[in-house]
Amino acid sequence: MIAIENIRKEFPILNRTVNGKPLVYFDNAATSQTPQPVIDAIVDYYQNYNANIHRGVHTLSQEATDKYEEARIKIQKHFNAANSYEIIFTSGTTDSINLVANGFTSLLNEGNEIIVSALEHHSNIVPWQMLCERTGALLKVIPMTQEGVLDMEAYKSLLSDKTKLVFCNHVSNALGTINPIKDIITLAHGVNAAVLIDGAQAAPHIKADVQALDVDFYVASAHKMCGPTGQGMLYGKETWLKKLPPYQGGGEMIAEVTFEKTTYADLPHKFEAGTPNICGGIAFGAAIDYMNNIGFDVIAAYEHELLEYATEKLLAIEGLRIYGPKDTTQKAAVISFNIEGIHPYDMGVILDKLGIAVRTGHHCAQPIMNFFCIPGTVRASFAFYNTKEEIDILVAGVERAANMLR
């Protein structure tokens, strides 16, 4: 059982009002809210030991370095990476993906193929298109069904010895679909292709085990899992991280620099040029601790309850269609919907007047919207600090807005 009352008290923002109404925050798939222990970790850093890391001999620098490296180990344990140096700190999922896409420039040739899924976020499409432009590789797309589920038979037929890379998200941010990533990875490895899984949307709901998955790269953002913005992670298998060239040049990533030749630092520093977001890394660690203290099993069970409750109540509204899998066990707590004849933007504006934060639009996944021939959807996404009472407020709000707009 989740101690929901106690949990809500730890999120100061949940006390605020919007347009005179208590805030109902259902835009968790875009960014999650921040609990007090994470806010405290941020304040503690700037108040007590703000210093640059890895360089100084002085006490503050050592304290900051220790905390930053402790955070790396927390992330390593959370995702069950074999080594802490396989965790690279980045500014977020987008940055992590670009790091890998950039690194593969020298490893791909014309005629090689890259496979992405039809369910991708733009940040997992555009960097690969740019990689294809640089290398002459071809981009192939795993199609999806009308229910927003990947067509695995089609995937199998796309794989060949030309396939060098496969990219797929663990959970779709636009539809909530949980993808069969274990199968995707196993099949890709059958043709010796590397796999990058975009875990940005899964990380707040599911604890991924990178060794059990045998995934080559797994990426996530702190701000979707109770941490700060501008901070993310890349897990990469040691063998791959050694093969990829550095992403950016600068301080921190070098072993020795002369004007004739520079040698690079060992992992993970090879990929961490310049002063990083030190506070962000430490706060990311605090966020992972916070979520693990509640427990991912508890979080998943409770969010599933919210998802089922909201799905049933919303579907009772006339003309309302939910996009994505009908089977809620194949979904994370994301509901993407439209009401016949009503533009999602208009719905979003009225809901905001009622204090309800939802996302409207294409959710950085225009190909998915094109597939369904819609301009966008209204997306309500839930976190473990949301309640059924809030869902009742959403349902009443949607009904009210529908009556005004129809």
Ligand X SMILES: *Cc1c(COP(=O)(O)O)cnc(C)c1O
Which residue of 11, 53, 86, 92 would you call a contact of ligand X, by CB under 6 A? 92
Report if residue 381 touches ligand X, rule: CB under 6 A: no
Which residue of 74, 78, 121, 379 would you call a contact of ligand X, by CB under 6 A? 121
Beta carbon of residue 16, minimum distance to ligand X (angstroms, whole number): 23
Cβ-based nearer residue to ligand X, 64 or 380: 380
Report if residue 169 touches ligand X, rule: CB under 6 A: yes
Cβ-based nearer residue to ligand X, 227 or 246: 227
Report if residue 179 touches ligand X, rule: CB under 6 A: no
Which residue of 98, 221, 377, 381 would you call a contact of ligand X, by CB under 6 A? 221
In our burial notation (b when 16+ CB lie closer than 10 A, e otherwise), range 297-326 reads: eebbebbbebbebbbebbeeeeebebbbbe
The first and second tokens of residue 158, run together, are 């796309």
Length of the chain: 406
Report if residue 123 touches ligand X, rule: CB under 6 A: yes
Beta carbon of residue 227, minimum distance to ligand X (angstroms, whole number): 11
In our burial notation (b when 16+ CB lie closer than 10 A, e otherwise), range 67-106 reads: bbbebbebbbebbebeebbbbbbbbbbbbbbbbbbbbbee
Which residue of 28, 34, 76, 94 would you call a contact of ligand X, by CB under 6 A? 94
DSSP assignment of 61-100 = HHHHHHHHHHHHHHHHHHTT-S-GGGEEEESSHHHHHHHH
Assess contact for 217 and 93: CB atoms under 8 A.
no
Orientation angle between helical segments 388-405 and 296-315, nearest 10 degrees: 30
Which residue of 93, 98, 311, 377 would you call a contact of ligand X, by CB under 6 A? 93
Instruction: Enumerate the β-bridge partners of residue 24.
Output: 356
Beta carbon of residue 125, minimum distance to ligand X (angstroms, whole number): 10
> Per the omega criterion (within 30 degrees of 0), is the bond before 268 cis?
yes
For ligand X, the binding residues in 180-219 under the rule CB under 6 A are 198, 200-201
Cβ-based nearer residue to ligand X, 76 or 177: 177
* Region of 120-128, 136-144, 254-262, 380-388 interacting with ligand X (CB under 6 A): 120-128
Which residue of 76, 98, 117, 173 would you call a contact of ligand X, by CB under 6 A? 173
Tell me whether residue 364 is one of the annotated catalytic residues: yes
Backbone angles phi, psi at 44, to 5 degrees: -60, -40
Contact code string over 35-54 relative to ligand X, x by CB under 6 A? --------------------
Half-sphere exposure of 349 (CA within 13 A, CB side): 7
Assess contact for 136 and 113: CB atoms under 8 A.
no
Report if residue 28 touches ligand X, rule: CB under 6 A: no
Beta carbon of residue 221, minimum distance to ligand X (angstroms, whole number): 3
How many chain residues are in contact with ligand X, going by CB under 6 A? 12
Query: Would strands 113-117 and 377-381 be described as parallel, antiparallel, or unpaired?
Result: unpaired
- Of 274, 294, 272, nearest to 32 (Cα)? 294
Binding site for ligand X (CB under 6 A): 92-94, 121, 123-124, 169, 173, 198, 200-201, 221
List active site positions.
Answer: 364
